[in-house]
């Protein structure tokens, strides 16, 4: 089931955000990841609104109909979290339940820490909350993937990935969405290729594409990125050192709000650190982890690949808050 939400531009944290809004009731804010938009929640908006919630799905800064600062530092974690806290206030609420996927997950996990008074509960999809860690994430990846290609390392030099992805947005998105899907088993994100390879090198472009992403869905995403480009979205990957410095104040603090984690069993993110059970590591950082749901056979785009199962898990979590 999908829904056509109302759209509005909301001013928060000195920027304008396009927000898809539907329903009435307690506020649930849905925060998307890379490379997506509010549209990645198209299957959840109707389900949550129909269950008695007011749903708001913004384009995060750098995407779609929202403002797009140019500077890399504008995409540091504290700014991203301040955006969400500001949106909650701008929508007239004191608190909200936050749900985030991919980069949206670290944003909502950290918003619950930087702005705890604004967050009633939090759910992360795909990316578990691991705390600050002993070093910036990009340093960890340099060690783990030394001499090999890893997409986050490739994204570090401004302009390089932008040029590759913007040359043919449709093909780029098809390959990216497929490589991390359940059908591809996520092999593309950690592919064994040379360190100087490009992101799209060797990635499959299946025909037909798996049914969870229709031609109409792809057309929407293509139109968004043809208009907005990839610089803002990629800048989020370039703030690891700044994020690490900003998160110093969070060391020793756990997420105390009621929490949930949902992911596909084939999500490659869960295998980014070989030999480490990231979900078990998350349990050390999240005090009230009420639901952990791994959806068998699903990949990284879990709420699009398996919307019914994700909706059921989210509604179960929301009912637990009563």
> Per the structure block, which two tokens stand in for 164?
């590759």
The 8-class DSSP code of residue 209 comes to: P
Candidate list 59, 83, 102, 267, residue with the active-site label: 102
3-state secondary structure of 89: helix
Candidate list 32, 43, 129, 300, residue with the active-site label: 300
Mark out the alpha helices in the chain (DSSP H runs).
42-50, 77-90, 104-114, 137-144, 151-154, 160-166, 169-179, 215-228, 231-235, 240-246, 278-283, 302-305, 307-320
300 is known as an active-site residue: yes
Cα-based torsion angle of the residue sequence 128, 131, 135, 141 in order, rounded to the nearest 10 degrees:
0
102 is known as an active-site residue: yes
CB under 8 A, 24+ apart: contacts of 113-116: 113/250, 113/253, 113/255, 114/78, 114/81, 114/82, 114/85, 114/250, 115/81, 115/82, 115/84, 115/85, 116/256, 116/257
**Sign of the CA dihedral 21, 125, 123, 238?**
negative
Residues present in the chain in total: 322
Give 39's Cβ-side CA count (13 Å radius).
Answer: 19
Catalytic residues: 102, 300
């Amino acid at each position: 089931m999908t829904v056509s939400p109302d759209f509005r531009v909301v001013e928060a944290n000195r920027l304008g955000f396009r927000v898809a809004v539907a329903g009435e009731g307690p506020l649930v804010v849905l925060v998307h990841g890379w490379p997506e938009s509010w549209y990645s929640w198209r299957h959840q908006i109707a389900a949550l609104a129909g269950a008695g919630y007011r749903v708001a799905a913004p384009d995060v800064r750098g995407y779609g109909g929202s403002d797009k600062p140019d500077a890399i530092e504008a995409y540091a974690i504290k700014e991203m979290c301040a955006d969400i806290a500001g949106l909650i206030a701008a929508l007239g609420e004191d608190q909200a339940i936050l749900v985030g996927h991919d980069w949206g997950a670290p944003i909502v996990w950290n918003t619950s820490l930087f702005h705890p008074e604004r967050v009633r509960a939090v759910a992360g999809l795909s990316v578990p909350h691991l705390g600050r860690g002993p070093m910036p994430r990009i340093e960890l990846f340099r060690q783990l993937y030394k001499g090999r290609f890893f997409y986050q390392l490739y994204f570090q030099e401004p302009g390089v990935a932008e040029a590759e992805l913007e040359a043919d947005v449709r093909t780029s998105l098809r390959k990216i969405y497929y490589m991390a899907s359940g059908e591809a088993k996520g092999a593309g994100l950690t592919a064994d290729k040379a360190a100087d390879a490009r992101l799209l090198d060797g990635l499959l472009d299946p025909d037909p594409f798996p049914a969870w992403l229709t031609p109409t869905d792809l057309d929407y995403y293509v139109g968004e990125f043809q208009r907005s480009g990839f610089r803002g979205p990629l800048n989020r990957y370039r703030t690891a050192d700044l994020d690490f410095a900003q998160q110093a104040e969070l060391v020793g603090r756990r997420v105390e709000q009621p929490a949930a984690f949902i992911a596909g069993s084939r999500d490659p993110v869960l295998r980014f650190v070989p030999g480490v059970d990231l979900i078990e590591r998350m349990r050390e950082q999240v005090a009230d982890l009420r639901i952990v749901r791994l959806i068998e056979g699903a990949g990284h785009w879990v709420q699009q690949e398996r919307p019914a199962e994700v909706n059921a898990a989210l509604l179960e979590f929301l009912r637990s808050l009563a």
